[in-house]
Chain A
Amino acid sequence: MRLLLALLIISLECLSHAAEEKEGPIRLATAPSGEYAVDWTAPDGPPRVVSKPDGAVIAELKIPESEQSSGDHSMATPLPFISPDSNWVFVMNVDNDAPPPESFSRPSALFRRTRSSDGTIHFEAATPDRFDKAAWEFLDKELKLGRPDLPPDAKRVYSASFIDWSRDSARLLLSVGGGAWSPSKSEWVEAAAYTWYCYFNTRSGKFELTDRLRTADTRPERKSNTSDDAFALLAVVTNAESIGEEGPQSSPKERFDVVDKRLNDVYDKLIAKIEPAKRESIRNEQRAWLISRDTEAEIAALQMWSSGREATARILESKAISTEARVAELEKLLSGSQVK
């Protein structure tokens, strides 16, 4: 009897535990101000803005359907990127499992936080049409990107990928692409291989190009398929310019190459100068530091959701910063008392 009672208690306990384990919403991002968060229930729920103090749903961040959009994006994962001042949320849908042309497409929307007279928070779309489409149309007008004579059945497909928010939240940096797909031929009739940069200026409510972006967008390397990082990285932008702080971006490749050479020089001098008994210890320390530097650089690029050339540039930036610190450490060691 006691055994049966024990079985019953265990079963009830497990049933209640199973109920608690039911899949709930995933927290996608938390506003830097801490006021709200964006949650999502997989696989097809819309992202929801929830109040941080009480978890109440404030808004749904639904990306509007495009007239030209085709295919099923219900399995896409929404990725929200909240501005530093927490007033803007850029959401892009990513679906790497979709067949072309949807695999290229990155439907996106930008939402602005507003407050009504009674203090209630709302989120509204910053553009009436789909954000990725509006961004492409702006760039097409500025840079003459699209082919004018598309076949009648061609469908234009757009992508707008997040790159960065400026520190003052005034500019959202995007990488924008567009291609045209023929459903009858099941092929691209206008290549969707390239992307271009543009900003959305949250103060003027318009897309724009600065000299930094226009230079990168019009460089021949932008359309190169070379795997040579040094060449391809000439046309990469990773940092959004704040208002009043516009200017060219320094090359991460050059910065890293310079400091990497300095590191090798200092390290060689240290190994030559140090007591032989300490050499192995320094070598082991340097190996461990290299593993740590490269790992931290990959993590930094992942935390910014970078891919392709932007990821390569951010990894080099991070490596350059760590290497500069390491050079300073080794120089101190070289001039210090530890060396004979």
Chain B
Amino acid sequence: MRSIWAVCKREFVSYFTTPVGYVIISVYAAISGLYFTGSFIIYARITQNPSAYAYDGIPELEEWMLSPFLVLCGQLIMFIGPLVTMRLLSEERNRGTMELLLTHPLRDREIIFGKYLAALGTLLVMMIIVGIHLTIMGSFTPVEPAVLFFGLITVFLMGAAFFSLGLFISAVSSNQVTAGTATFGAALISWILGTMGRDLPQAIPTPEEWPEGAVLLASFLYGVIREIIVSLPLDAHAQDLAQGIIYPHDVAYYVLFAAFFLFLTFRAFESRKWRA
């Protein structure tokens, strides 16, 4: 237990003894702040004169602004996240310190959880920035506490799930750039799928001359593919959660996602014992 803490502390501190940590946090603060300020000003204008903006009444703050902001914060973590996770294990391998790590009395789980917790530590720093925004908003207008609470949990869950994927990719790369690029690619694919999923029709038409079996098969396959595209992306499960609506399957998705990739990280890390 103590060793997990030692590994975690060293890793976390090293983010902030090099410029990496500051760059990550600044970029995160800048982009989320820009989005927050812009949408907050527009929302303020709408509340003053809803009809001018073609609204019947004042739109709900939570629905119009808060949830989209929180989902964006989560998505932003996916795009900045590769910078956090790419170094975790690949850097140790690249500069040879893996030899120290593996000859000190550390168990695999102490190394992997220590690294993962350090990444979650930087996630918490990002959450503090989100928290500052929300405090500013709360000082202007009352906000539903449940939405706030579950919104923050959503951002954290998205980040934690995505970081486990990043950790796994870092475990199989010997180079930071490779790890970072692959993780970024994964984020991009997830985001593209998520965007596609929103517009996918429920069914596809099939040519009339097709026999009944083929039509059934085609619609079944389409259903499966559609379900994957709609449900797999990381941000797909954030929309409801960010509005304070909790479905167990959304929470379970993030927890299982993180557990699955942590499991893969363990297997990849252990593979050193049988690969050469």
Are both chains from one complex? no
